[in-house]
Amino acid sequence: MNTLLSIEGLTLARGGFVLGPVSLALGPGERLVLLGPSGGGKTTLLRCLCGLAAPDEGRIRLQGRDVSDLPPERRDVGYVPQAATLFPHLDVAGNVAFGLRSIGLPAGERAARVAGVLELLGIAPLARRRTAGLSGGEAKRVALARSLVLRPSLLLLDEPLAGLDGRARDSMAEALREAWESTRTATIHVTHDREEAWLLAGRCAVMDGGRLMQDGPIEEVFRRPANRFVAEFLGGGNVLGTEGNLVYVRPEDLVPAAPGEEAHYAGTLTAVTDRGAFAELRVRLPDGTVLLARVPPAAIRGLAHGSPLPLHRRAPPHPLGDVRTFSPFWPSPGSPAVEKGD
């Protein structure tokens, strides 16, 4: 892979908090979502990358240049923190132009860049508005514009959809997609939300307990989890013990067995939940294990709570590895690495 960003053995220890060692790489134009529970240290990793936190060991290389010891303004990295902190004494255009003024860009080019990024993010009509009157979604777009206008080699987004609900969240997600498709800026996007990761990731890295549990294309990570933590964190999959080993069965791969069809599991139907586009079945096996199946709504007709229900498995179970066995170097299917802390 042509490497834009290379993180090599990055470690940071502060009191009881330990980050890493982190080894990870990102290619030009790639979108990587760092996904994991709150308190996993994802924000700390971003702060190390942009120069707001100093790691104890390891190196950060961007476009082949070692930026490990450089201050934030010399790294060519755009960082959009979770809280969209804007300058209240400047209007929207002034906020977006602030960084361009600091690098001495001529006024004409400055105005053209600001106008272009405001148009890209759908906030051109807000150019002369003061920031105090902006909605949460508008403020986040302005903060994003302030980073994008500098045309960084790498963009870091920390929970960009946090605090937004309903239409504002959907609109901001669409703005992020459109901005990436237009600029192809390499991006690392932090979230704890599985749906957000699925919608916006090209590649996904799942983190927990100071390590990277799995790293790969988003479809691969969600459909072939590397270990029990990933399987359970990513959406209620079925983790089963088979001959001393753990395997994962996707809920979408389980259906009520038709007459004459092999029943891989036989249990009792304990719950049916109609979720509109699909229905969820919970089936308790004789040993007490509860399996989750996701089926088309039509498949629940005639099913009765408490009745026996044999299940057919449409695909082989996926073996789960041990979280301690992964290589720390990308692009292994489960490169460990990261931190804990936020």
Q: Would the pLDDT of 258 be above 50?
A: yes
Q: Given pLDDT bands bounded at 50, 70 and 90, which one contains residue 2?
A: confident
- On the question of pLDDT at 235 being above 80, the answer is no
What's the domain count of the chain? 2
| pLDDT for residue 28 | 95
- The predicted pLDDT at position 209 comes to 75
Residues 307 and 189 in one domain: no
Matching residue, tokens 């707001």? 52
Does one domain contain both 30 and 112? yes
What percent of the chain lies above the pLDDT cut of 70? 93
Which of 170, 199, 223 finishes a domain?
Answer: 223
On the question of pLDDT at 221 being above 50, the answer is: yes
Question: Do residue 152 and residue 290 come from a single domain?
Answer: no
340 within domain boundaries: no
Mean pLDDT, all residues of the chain? 87
Please state the rounded mean pLDDT for residues 1-11: 90
Q: Domain containing 246 — which CATH number? A: 2.40.50.140
Tell me how far apart the alpha carbons of residues 213 and 208 are, in angstroms, rounded to a whole number: 7
Lowest mean per-residue pLDDT among 175-179, 221-225, 242-246 = 242-246
CB 136 within 8 A of CB 163: yes
DSSP one-letter code for 110: H
- In this prediction, residue 159 carries a pLDDT of 93
Average pLDDT for 29-51: 90
Residues 120, 12, single domain; the answer is yes
pLDDT at position 332 over 50: no
Strand 186-191 relative to strand 238-242, pairing: unpaired
Q: What is the pLDDT of residue 1?
A: 61
pLDDT for res 15: 82
**Cβ(168)–Cβ(137) under 8 Å?**
yes
**pLDDT over 60 (residue 329):** no
Q: State the pLDDT confidence band at 68, using cuts at 50, 70 and 90.
A: very high
pTM score of the predicted model: 0.83
8 Å CB contact between 48 and 54: yes
Residues 91 and 21 in one domain: yes
User: Within this chain, do residues 241 and 110 fall inside the same structural domain, yes or no?
Assistant: no
Averaged pLDDT for residues 20-49: 90
Select from 185, 200, 223 the last residue of a domain. 223
Over range 289-314, report the average pLDDT: 89
β-sheet bridge partners, residue 318: 248
Give the pLDDT score at 236. Answer: 66
Contact 7, 49 (CB under 8 A): yes
SS3 assignment, position 327: coil
Evaluate whether residue 330 is within a structural domain.
no
- Do 219 and 262 reside in the same domain of the chain? no
Residues 173 and 257 placed together within one structural domain of the fold: no
Does some domain include residue 284?
A: yes
Task: Measure the CA–CA gap between 139 and 335, rounded to whole angstroms.
Answer: 35
Encoded tokens for 161 = 């959809």
At residue 60, does pLDDT exceed 80? yes
- Longest Cα–Cα distance of the chain, Å, equals 76
Of 169, 198, 223, which closes a domain? Answer: 223
pLDDT at site 335: 32
- CATH number for the domain including 26? 3.40.50.300
Closest CA to 292 of 313, 308, 276: 313
Decide if 265 is inside a domain: yes
- Cβ contact 208:40 at 8 Å: yes
Q: Is the pLDDT of residue 338 over 70?
A: no
pLDDT tens-place string over residues 77-133 = 999 998 878 989 999 999 999 988 888 888 899 999 999 999 999 999 999 999 888
pLDDT band at 340 (very low <50, low <70, confident <90, very high): very low
Q: Containing domain of residue 298, as a range?
A: 235-319
Tokens of 47: 């702060």
Do 276 and 200 belong to one domain?
Answer: no
Q: Which residues contact residue 299 at a Cβ distance below 8 angstroms, ignoring those fewer than 6 apart?
A: 255, 256, 279
- How high is the pLDDT of residue 337? 32
